[in-house]
Structures are given as structure tokens and as C-alpha cells.
Amino acid sequence: MRTKSAGIEDVARLAGLSITTVSRVINKAATVREDNRKKVEEAVRKLRFSPSPHAQALAGGKTNTIALVIPRYEGIFYSFYALELIRGIGTLCDALRLNLLLYLTEGRDSLNGKLVSGIIFADIINNRFQVESAIKEKIPAVVINNFTEGLSVSCVAVDNLQGAKEAVNYLIGLGHKKIAHIAGDMITQAARFRLEGYKQALCARGIKENPDYIIKTDYSRGQARRAAEKLLGLNADAPTAIFVASDSMALEAVAVIKEKGKRVPEDISIVGFDDNPSALYGPVSLTTVRQPLIKMGEEAVRELNNLIKGKKEITRAMLPAELIVRDSCKVVQ
């Protein structure tokens, strides 16, 4: 028959002291009277009491666990973006001997910061109050994929603006002037900055912006399909090139173009964003903008670990994106 293990209440009862005093002795608090310390140590010895490492960590304010908070959306576990972040963050957590708690949020619920030593927020989408709450409670925190100038919190982001400008400038350099943009969800900073980069690149080269060429989506393939159909439906005014805010949507646009009897890049050039491995294995290998997702996750863990260890100043880092030229674009005369 299995014997029930002694708990802290048993130790307190045998020592004739409060649970609070016993907890202070176990956690080596300097303010405990020597006679009380000896009573607790004797009770621990007699009961063969072994304190929970997790309970000790909570009492000492150090759980060795960090939380990764990801805004919930459909298909998250099939998302290249989310999986790369988790891979980068998880690998470095393992190297630093940190436990990782994954928390999916719809932004409406509060977070229990007492369970973790720090928090990484994967973007700010309808959950700004959670970030503000962590700052207010002085919980070490880092935001990724969002350059947070308006909040007193460290962040690691990708230069989406410059990445988009490089993509559009590349198309302009190939002779394209009729360049459309299938944008992402404007609720995300990444989509807004990619749209702004597209506009700035056109303006800098003296190309007039055409409102019919800008179609905003929710990043889904379904809306990407409708956007591509709408652009092709412009007939004589249809674009000769499309810059798409994600590789997943770009591949859907390629499929639509093929269904309509046209070819990429012979009839329409396409540039995506992400450098998703699937972009290599479609009907045509996709020219895209690579964002360093794994590095972004690793840098966030390093920064959070430093903050947990007592670093006071916050850091805002912007990682460069890189244009990857493949086979989905061609020169136009």
C-alpha cells in the first residue's frame, strides 16, 4: 500500500509553527529565528519531507518558465510563421534550460503572470491590454513581430517596410509599372508596413498608385483567390506583376493565373513574402522576401532571459528582410 507523502502542513503541525514560517525556512529566508529554523529542520527530517521544486520556485519568484503568447487564429498549427517562431524560441529555451508555456489567446482574457518568469508576445493583435498589464506588473516581457514604439517594452521585429520596398523595386527594375498588391490583414502591423512599403516604392519611382491594384485580405488563401480573380478581371488594365503579402497567398494567386490560361512569369510576375519552403515546390519557384523568423524568436528569448536576470533598459531591434530571387518574375519591355 502506497503511503501518502508528507506535506508542508504536516511539517508545520509537527514543528508547532505556521505554514508561512515553514515556507520561509524551506526557501532560506534570512529573517527566520534560529530556534524556529531548527524546529522546522527537525520536522522535515522526521517526516522525510521533500519540498516541490515548482512550489519553491513560485515562492522565490523564479519558475524558470517563460510564456509564449500567440494570438489565436484558424489553422495556427499549420502556419509556417507560428511553427518557425516556436522552433526558434523552443530551441533556445532548451539551450538556456528554460521551460516554455504556449498560450493561445483571443485577446479578451487576462494572463496569470505569477506562473512564469517572463512573457514573449508574438505580435499585438487585439491583446494590447495584456502587454500593458505585464508592463504594469513589472513582468519581464518582449514583443516580437511588432515594433512597439508606443509601449515601454523590448521588441524584436522584421523590417517589413524595407522588405516590401525591395520587392517592388525589383519588379520596377524588371520594367514593370502596372504592379498590384494583394495585402494582408490590416489588423497586423506587418501587413500595414508591407502595404506602406509598396506605396513608397511606387512613389519614389514616379509610378502613380492605382486603387484598383490594392486589395486587402485576411491572409487566407480564399481571399487571395478572390483578389487574384479580381485583378485578372481588369482585362486590358490587369497588372503585369503582383506583390503578395505572404507566400501562401502568392501560391494561390499562381494557381488562379494558371486556371485562367495564363502563365507565371511569362504573362504575370509574382513576388511573395515569408520564404515558406512550399514556395520552392509549386508550379514555379517563387521569388519572395525572406523574414528571419527563427532568428527573431531566438533574439526574443535572449532579451527576455537578460531582463529576467535583472537587465533594466529595454531594447528595440529591427531585423532585415532579404529578397530571394527565383523564377516567378521576368523582364517586360
C-alpha cell at 26: 524551506
Separation of alpha carbons 130 and 141, rounded Å: 11
Q: 108 pLDDT exceeds 80? A: no
Question: Is 148 within 8 Å of 155 (Cβ atoms)?
Answer: yes
Query: What is the structure's pLDDT at 18?
Result: 87
Q: In the predicted model, is pLDDT for residue 78 greater than 90? A: no
Residue with the larger pLDDT of the pair 52 and 244: 244
Q: Is the pLDDT of residue 70 over 70?
A: yes
184 vs 224: CA distance, rounded Å: 9
How many Å apart are CA 72 and CA 282, to the nearest integer?
Answer: 28
Range of lowest pLDDT (8-17, 36-45, 53-62, 261-270): 53-62
Taking the domains of the chain in order of start, what are their residue ranges?
Answer: 8-60, 65-158+293-320, 160-291
Class of domain 65-158+293-320: alpha beta
Q: Which position has the grid cell 520564404? A: 275
Q: What is the overall mean pLDDT for the chain?
A: 90
- pLDDT at position 49 is 84
Residue 2 pLDDT: 41
Residue 7, pLDDT above cutoff 90: no
What is the rounded distance in angstroms from the CA atom of residue 10 to the CA atom of residue 25?
Answer: 15
Architecture of the structural domain at 8-60: Orthogonal Bundle (1.10)
Torsion of CA 26, 32, 37, 41, to 10 degrees: 0
Residue-wise pLDDT for 250-281, tens only, equals 999 999 999 999 999 999 999 999 999 998 98
- pLDDT score for 88: 95
Other C-beta atoms lying within 10 Å of the C-beta of residue 4: 6
Task: Name the percent of the chain lying above pLDDT 90.
Answer: 70
**pLDDT value at residue 53:** 52
CATH number of the 160-291 domain:
3.40.50.2300
The pLDDT value given to residue 264: 97
Q: Which range, 48-62, 160-174, 301-315, has the best average confidence (pLDDT)?
A: 160-174
Among 61-75, 117-131, 228-242, 290-304, the range scoring the smallest mean pLDDT is 61-75
Between CA 31 and CA 182 the distance in angstroms is: 64
What is 55-105 written as a DSSP string?
HHHHHHT--SEEEEEEE--TTGGG-HHHHHHHHHHHHHHHHTT-EEEEEEE
The letter for the amino acid at 167 is A
Buried-exposed string 54-66: b where 16+ CB fall within 10 A, e elsewhere: eeebeeeeebebb
Look up residue 136 and give its three cell numbers.
504594469
3-state secondary structure string across 148-181: CCCCCCEEEEECHHHHHHHHHHHHHHCCCCCEEE
Between helix 19-26 and helix 34-47 the angle, nearest 10°, is 90
State yes or no: cis peptide before 265, omega within 30 of 0: yes
Higher pLDDT, 80 or 162: 162
For residues 288-298, give the mean pLDDT. Answer: 96
Return the higher-pLDDT residue of 82 and 229: 229
Mean pLDDT of 57-61: 52
71, 123 Cβ separation under 8 angstroms: yes
Same fold yes or no, 8-60 and 160-291: no
Mean pLDDT of 20-43: 84
